[in-house]
């Protein structure tokens, strides 16, 4: 499984900005980011803050009916357009500026490169990696690596356009 350049790309943090009172996806991501920052800070204040943000994360996870583990490695600029029913395994790694639609499951050690779009209902069953700028079609079931720039769809997922190597 090849490692993608997750840290080499620049995240667009405005994609995670809370713009209105009811922005559950952005509020879920804020809770996750602040929990990770508090844990990293350490000390008594960091411990108290991490507990607060863990509860906040639990609240927004319940509202969204999503399960995104608190210690999942997620690059900046993740967009959860409709955050209902998203399941992300704790061993998954998500690159910068990705977009994940509702009812998506990343099962096992799935590595998404930067700028990957994952369509509604898609299931990615790892271990596998998805290259930068790839597109996963709605309801696709991906069980093999996806090359950079490819578009995959179907059950099981096959490359329908883009990079045919991999």
The catalytic site residues sit at 82
Q: Is 165 helix (H, G, I), strand (E, B) or coil?
A: coil
In angstroms, rounded to a whole number, what is the distance separating the alpha carbons of residues 35 and 27?
A: 12
- Alpha helices per DSSP H over the chain: 24-41, 43-64
Lookup: tokens for 162: 């883009």
- The edge-to-edge listing of strands for the beta sheet with 135-136 is 99-100, 117-118, 135-136, 151-153, 158-161
In angstroms, rounded to a whole number, what is the distance separating the alpha carbons of residues 157 and 166?
A: 14
């Amino acid at each position: 499984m090849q490692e993608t350049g997750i840290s080499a790309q620049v995240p667009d943090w405005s994609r995670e900005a809370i713009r209105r009172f009811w922005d559950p996806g952005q509020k879920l991501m804020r809770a996750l980011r602040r929990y990770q920052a508090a844990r990293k800070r350490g000390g008594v204040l960091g411990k108290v803050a991490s507990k607060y943000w863990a509860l906040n994360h639990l609240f927004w996870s319940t509202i969204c009916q999503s399960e995104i583990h608190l210690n999942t490695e997620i690059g900046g600029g993740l967009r959860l357009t409709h955050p209902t029913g998203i399941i992300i395994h704790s061993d998954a790694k998500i690159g910068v500026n990705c977009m994940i639609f509702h009812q998506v499951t990343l099962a096992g050690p799935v590595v998404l490169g930067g700028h990957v779009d994952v369509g509604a209902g898609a299931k990615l069953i790892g271990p596998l990696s998805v290259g930068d700028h790839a597109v996963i079609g709605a309801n696709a079931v991906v069980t093999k690596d996806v090359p950079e720039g490819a578009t995959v769809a179907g059950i099981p997922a096959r490359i329908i356009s883009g990079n045919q190597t991999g």
